[in-house]
Chain A
Amino acid sequence: NAGVTQTPKFQVLKTGQSMTLQCAQDMNHNSMYWYRQDPGMGLRLIYYSASEGTTDKGEVPNGYNVSRLNKREFSLRLESAAPSQTSVYFCASRLYMDMNTEAFFGQGTRLTVV
């Protein structure tokens, strides 16, 4: 069972470069999320998509954009990377947002911006 798949697993960017983090889930889930994890701060929500065709900002959306390409895929784009965006990024999915369902997480993307 693949679950939630993130690519790439590791990435080094130079300041000002752009990149897209990819996320795909094969569980037919409706809701998808992007989090960033920083030491001592837990996971913070960047953007989420309640269902196909909708996206909304989370706690820390500045510097990021997202695309819900279809029901399976939810990508996160950094248009002009900054050192402050060095982090581990996690994608997650849930069957529905408004029901008592658990979130399933990908393995993470470790991004370093130099």
Chain B
Amino acid sequence: AQSVTQPDIHITVSEGASLELRCNYSYGATPYLFWYVQSPGQGLQLLLKYFSGDTLVQGIKGFEAEFKRSQSSFNLRKPSVHWSDAAEYFCAVGLFKLSFGAGTTVTVRA
């Protein structure tokens, strides 16, 4: 069965500092991986996706993620966080049906 674990429920980061959100997945074949962001009261917006090829994926808003098959991980990173990055972030895996992690809430302090 496919599943996603996001070990960090909440992360606080200073504006301008780097951010890394962890994601570990379980999937029987080549995984299709996604990161979504949800601002308060909003739906989910796709940040980036990985299907195959280069294991370092670039997304919108300056985010990138690295696929590491040996570690079953797909961690999301941003070099310098902006106050507008405060949101909840979800990692997801799947082809036919997407399975989501529980999410990581990011707070940005001035």
A binding-site residues for B, Cβ under 8 Å = 4, 33, 35, 40-45, 48, 50, 58, 90, 92, 97-98, 100, 102-108
Contact = CB atoms under 8 A, between A and B. Distances in A.
Contact of B101 (A4, A42, A48, A58): A42
Tell me the dominant secondary structure on chain B's binding face: loop
Contact of B42 (A4, A40, A42, A107): A107
Nearest to A56: B97
Contacts of A35: 100
Contact of B102 (A41, A102, A108): A41
Interface of B: 4, 6, 9, 32, 34, 36, 41-46, 49, 51, 90, 95-103
A50 B95 CA distance: 12
A88 to B, nearest CB: 9
Contacts of A104: 46
Given A42-B4, A43-B100, 15 more contacts: A33-B97, A35-B100, A40-B102, A42-B100, A42-B102, A44-B100, A50-B96, A90-B43, A90-B44, A98-B96, A100-B51, A102-B34, A105-B43, A106-B43, A108-B41
